[in-house]
Structure 1
Amino acid sequence: MRKLGVMKRIGLKTASLAIFAFALSTLSCWAGEIAAVRNCTWCHGTGAQGYTVAPRLAGQRPQYILSQIRSFHEHTRDNPFSIQYMWGAVASLGPYTARDLANYFASIPPRPANDGNGAWAARGRTIYMEGIPEANIVSCYACHGPNAEGIRDIPRLGGLAYFYIKARLEQWGQGYHSTPGSPMPLVATHLGAEEVEALASYLSFVK
């Protein structure tokens, strides 16, 4: 009986240690994920709604966020801000944390930036919905959806900041890249300054 009592006490202590270790590892994972979120929100805003040069992550397609993290990690997305900030930011980001971040930001309701030029919005909507036939450019709607909500790893454009969309279109036109195989550099080279202005303005107002 005495031996049985000792064995029970040892078993209880072992179980307690196992529960404590599990709880500690869980808390460590949570702490790590909280730190990862905080690292993103330093630039993308505490509500992940973005700033002028850092795009809104809230409501973005999770597949798109993951594809961009991969492009930063592989140095495919090569515009100046990506090289300066994002290449280093994702260098030690593991695949599970990246997935959790993508799902977390996708779950936050997005708010439109509403910072474009209203006078250009109508023309921008026409380009978005109909393309530019004379320049052989198909509608943005064909890939990004009727409300610019994005599809799978094609990004949500609706409500992104005017300055950000304008800068990205200009960078693609200058030869910078993003995801391998993206048609955007080719599309952007056929857009004039007014078309870029119109598209960026219109999309900033889309909810």
Structure 2
Amino acid sequence: MKLIRSKLAILAIVSVAAGPLSADESLPVRNCTWCHGSSAQGFMMAPRLAGQRDQYIENQLLSFRDHIRDNPLSRQYMWGAAANLSPQTVHDLSAYFSTLPTLPANDGDRQLAAAGRTIYEQGIAESNIVSCLVCHGPNAEGVREIPRLGGLSYSYLKRRLEQWGEGFHAAAGPMPHIASTLSPNEIDALASYLSFVGSASVE
């Protein structure tokens, strides 16, 4: 948290001296990449935007604007960031980031990846949890407004699942119920596996 705050403080100071925008860069894009990385691959708890489903990004920006996505970092950073975005800017940002190439984070626990893959592909019958691929696709690529999970960072995925279980963003379809049913070990395994999806080690 301190590192994120420090980065934002530094960016606020240097933004004036950031130089002219490149031919394919808009000010909203630059604002996003300050936290999400210059190639939108993510930074710490700021998730990767590159290659994410455009409908999902658009829905999340609207969710931030309308204060529906209400976990602590959303309140602290994204509510303000999305507050004054026009519908056209929301659409353009979503389309832009969805076209960028993806790189898997590869930052989970490899020893847990096999267990996480089993949960993703088969679900947990005794907990009445269906396989994740039913909604997110066989390669965790997402479908329409359902997000791509493959290759997102372990820390981001773990915290999102934990926060759903804690009651944040309660309007997010079936996820709050599913996440509240997962044990800490199951969350660790699932987040670890997904962080490697897209790399040769799990293909």
TM-score range, shorter chain: 0.7 to 0.9
Counterpart Cα distance in 2 of 1:170 and 1:51: 19
- 1:198 is aligned to 189
Amino acid at match of 1:182: G
- 2:155 counterpart (158, 163, 168): 163
Q: CA deviation at 1:181?
A: 4.7
Q: Which runs of 4+ in 1 moved over 6 A?
A: none
Bigger Rg, structure 1 or 2: 1
Does 2:102 correspond to 1:110?
yes
Where structure 1 has 5 or more consecutive residues not aligned to the other structure, the ranges are 1-29
The CA RMSD over aligned residues, in Å, is 1.3
Deviation string, structure 1 residues 147-199 (Cα, Å, up to 9, x no partner): 00000000000000000000000000100016x35111000010001100000
| Structure 2 counterpart SS, 1:175 | coil
Amino acid at match of 2:138: P
TM-score, normalised with respect to structure 1: 0.83
- 1:73 counterpart (54, 65, 73): 65
Counterpart Cα distance in 2 of 1:56 and 1:181: 19
After TM superposition, the structure 1 = structure 2 runs for residues 86-105 of structure 1, keeping only pairs within 5 Å, are: 86-105=78-97
- 1:129 is aligned to 121
Counterpart Cα distance in 2 of 1:192 and 1:119: 17
Identity %: 63
TM-score, normalised with respect to structure 2: 0.85
Q: CA deviation at 1:88?
A: 0.2
Choose between structure 1 and 2: higher helix proportion.
1
Q: CA deviation at 1:52?
A: 1.5
Counterpart Cα distance in 1 of 2:70 and 2:84: 18
- 1:56 counterpart (45, 48, 59): 48
- 2:135 is aligned to 143
- 1:83 counterpart (75, 82, 91): 75
